[in-house]
Amino acid sequence: MQPDPSFILEKLDITTAPTAFYDAPDPAAFEPLVRPKASDGRGPCVFAFFTQWQQGVTLHLPREDFRCCGGAARSLSRIETRAREEFLHFLAIEEGLKESEELMGEWVDANPGYPQEHPHLLLGPLKPECYAYLKTVTFWVNADQMSALTLGAQYHAGVNDPPPVVARFGAGCGQMVVVFDDLSVPQAQIGATDIAMRDWLPPDLLAFTVTRPLFERLCAFDGSSYLTKPFLGRLKKARGGRLA
């Protein structure tokens, strides 16, 4: 059963709906759905559908007819749409994302993409009845809300645990799932740091993507946590009563 994030969303004044990433055998339960128009492998950015996610619509990406941009195809489905040399030249030289094609090649080789389990990937609103297929949840937050969620990720972590929060390099869509070494570990990624996708977002929002185990921890917070204590109350007061 999906836990309820209402308490932490309310306490942090998060009004932008979270986006869930699902890997599922059947898309029917995720309706209403939207599919990108047919393309040659250089279709729209995943985040072109951000507004529709907020309206309750789920982006449907079947592996056999993916349609979104080549970067998303590689990151999310391990579908190669460009020759290696062309891909590295585009990222390192044309867009200047790494100092050299060699460095970009090392990163590409170390990050082959998400190992898809089922025929359908879906990004959109949380669907409690589909919790078995949930991989990550992305909270869309401002700087104050990001700081509070980062504290939440640290709340249960011991000094010898894996890092509760990372900020790894990658495409915006890849930061929603690929950057995690192990989705069974409670961990968060600070995302939406890919400037290629930020024009689809409001300028004050970043992404805080959590694995399912961390999502469950965040949803379990109650009045005994920092969410009802003086530090957060003082910050809200300094912001006029709300973090939003």
- Tell me the mean pLDDT in the region 18-45: 90
- In 3D space, the residue among 85, 192, 208 whose CA is nearest the CA of residue 137 turns out to be 208
How many distinct structural domains can be found in the chain? Answer: 1
Question: For the whole model, what pTM was predicted?
Answer: 0.96
53 pLDDT more than 70: yes
Res 38: pLDDT? 72
Which pair of structure tokens corresponds to residue 152?
């939440």
**86 domain-assigned:** no
Task: Kindly report, residue by residue over 170-227, the tens digit of the pLDDT.
Answer: 999 999 999 999 999 999 999 999 999 999 999 999 999 999 999 999 999 999 999 9
Pair type for strands 19-24 and 134-141:
antiparallel
Q: Is residue 140 part of a domain?
A: yes
User: Is residue 158 domain-resident?
Assistant: yes
Compute φ and ψ for 208, nearest 5 degrees. Answer: -125, 100
Range of the domain at 176: 6-78+113-238
93 in any annotated domain:
no
**pLDDT value for 127:** 98
The stretch 57-77 carries a mean pLDDT of 94
Model pLDDT for residues 82-137, shown as the tens digit of each residue:
999 999 999 999 999 999 999 999 999 999 999 999 999 999 999 999 999 999 99
Structural contact between residues 204 and 196, judged by C-beta atoms closer than 8 angstroms: no
Does residue 227 form part of some domain?
A: yes
Tell whether 192 is covered by a domain: yes
User: What's the confidence (pLDDT) of residue 213?
Assistant: 98
Mean pLDDT on 227-238: 97
Q: In this predicted structure, what is the pLDDT of residue 2?
A: 96
Q: Is the pLDDT of residue 15 over 70?
A: yes
68 part of a folded domain: yes
Band the pLDDT of 40: cuts 50, 70, 90: low
Q: How many angstroms separate the CA atoms of 74 and 87, rounded?
A: 11
Cβ neighbors of 152 (< 8 A, separation 6 or more) are 8, 217, 218, 221, 225, 226
Average confidence score pLDDT of the chain: 96
Rounded Cα–Cα distance for residues 101 and 125 (Å) = 37
Helices and strands in the chain: count of H runs, count of E runs: 8, 8
Q: Is residue 27 part of a domain?
A: yes
3-state helix, strand, coil in the chain (%, to 5): 40, 15, 45
Phi/psi of residue 83, nearest 5 degrees: -65, 150
